[in-house]
């Protein structure tokens, strides 16, 4: 079911409306990634001083380094970690439009969904983003204790968190918050696996730019498949 859902999401790349959302999502993903990278360098500058020496003798100054061409490669490397909160933010911004495009093509019999009030959408966005950032900061100690398993822990943790967020946002459009929570608890294992399979390509620079929007489409299909089971 998970791979079928992903295949359906890929199959919609020929849809002009879907490509438009994907293009906007990629542009905003790049913008947020640059902003997250700038924030990361700013924190290093404030915490460790004006100049930070990386392994291998490379020195960075957050503003100067941000403006150099070589910084692109450092940003791509850091995107392995920075793309998780970026993906969370992109999902909250675009899921409704992505889900509507998916439903118009694959589930045209469904009635229109009621709009989500802005303050509720903003609250959910900040809650999900705060949980993801907080959990990943706390997980740094676990990565240090188990360095050989750090990548797998990273995938598992963020697969759980991103799967929960993507599924909840897709489900709440149709069955409300309480219904979404109940369905998520019932199929928590499937949702975790799907989230982990999404977190893994988020660790691959450049490819990870496509994942937030494709993930939103995939989880829309997953929701309908699980909801149809009852």
Residue 54 lies in a domain: no
Task: Determine the pLDDT at residue 129.
Answer: 85
Q: Please count the other Cβ atoms lying within 10 Å of the Cβ belonging to residue 169.
A: 25
Task: Determine the pLDDT at residue 107.
Answer: 95
Residue 67 lies in a domain: no
Residue 61 lies in a domain: no
Residue 170 lies in a domain: yes
Task: Determine the pLDDT at residue 109.
Answer: 92
Residue 215 lies in a domain: yes
Q: Please count the other Cβ atoms lying within 10 Å of the Cβ belonging to residue 102.
A: 25
Q: What is the tally of structural domains in the chain?
A: 1
Question: DSSP string of 23-67?
Answer: HHHHHHHHHHHHHHHHHHHHHHHHHH-S-EEPTTS-EE-HHHHHT
Task: Determine the pLDDT at residue 163.
Answer: 95
Residue 192 lies in a domain: yes
CA dihedral 18, 24, 27, 33 (to 10 degrees): -90
Residue 163 lies in a domain: yes
Range of the domain at 113: 2-32+78-229
Task: Determine the pLDDT at residue 60.
Answer: 54
| Residue 111: closest CA among 119, 100, 127 | 100
Burial 214-224 (b: 16+ CB within 10 A, else e): bbbbbbbbbbb
Task: Determine the pLDDT at residue 54.
Answer: 52
Q: Backbone dihedral region of 176: left (phi > 0), alpha (psi from -120 to 50 degrees) or beta?
A: left
pLDDT profile of the chain (230 residues), mean per 10? 93 86 84 77 63 55 55 68 81 85 93 78 84 90 90 94 93 92 96 96 85 92 90
Task: Determine the pLDDT at residue 199.
Answer: 93
Task: Determine the pLDDT at residue 140.
Answer: 86
Residue 71 lies in a domain: no
Task: Determine the pLDDT at residue 22.
Answer: 85
Task: Determine the pLDDT at residue 162.
Answer: 94
């Amino acid at each position: 079911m998970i791979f079928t859902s992903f295949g359906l999401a890929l199959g919609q790349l020929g849809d002009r409306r879907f490509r438009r959302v994907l293009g906007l999502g990629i542009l905003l993903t790049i913008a947020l990634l640059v902003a997250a990278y700038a924030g990361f360098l700013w924190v290093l500058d404030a915490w460790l001083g004006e100049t930070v020496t990386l392994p291998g003798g490379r020195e960075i100054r957050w503003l100067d380094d941000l403006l150099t061409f070589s910084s692109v490669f450092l940003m791509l490397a850091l995107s392995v970690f920075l793309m998780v909160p970026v993906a969370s933010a992109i999902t909250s911004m675009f899921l409704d439009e992505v889900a509507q495009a998916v439903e118009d093509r694959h589930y045209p019999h469904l009635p229109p969904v009621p709009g989500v009030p802005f303050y509720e959408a903003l609250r959910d966005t900040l809650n999900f983003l705060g949980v993801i950032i907080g959990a990943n900061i706390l997980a740094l100690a676990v990565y240090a204790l188990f360095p050989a398993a750090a990548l797998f822990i990273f995938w598992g943790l963020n697969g759980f968190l991103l799967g929960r967020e993507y599924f909840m946002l897709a489900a709440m459009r149709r069955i409300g918050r309480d219904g979404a929570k109940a369905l998520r608890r019932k199929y928590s294992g499937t949702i975790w696996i799907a989230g982990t399979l999404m977190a893994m390509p988020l660790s691959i620079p450049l490819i990870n730019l496509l994942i937030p929007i494709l993930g939103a489409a995939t989880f829309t299909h997953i929701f309908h498949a699980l909801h149809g089971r009852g």
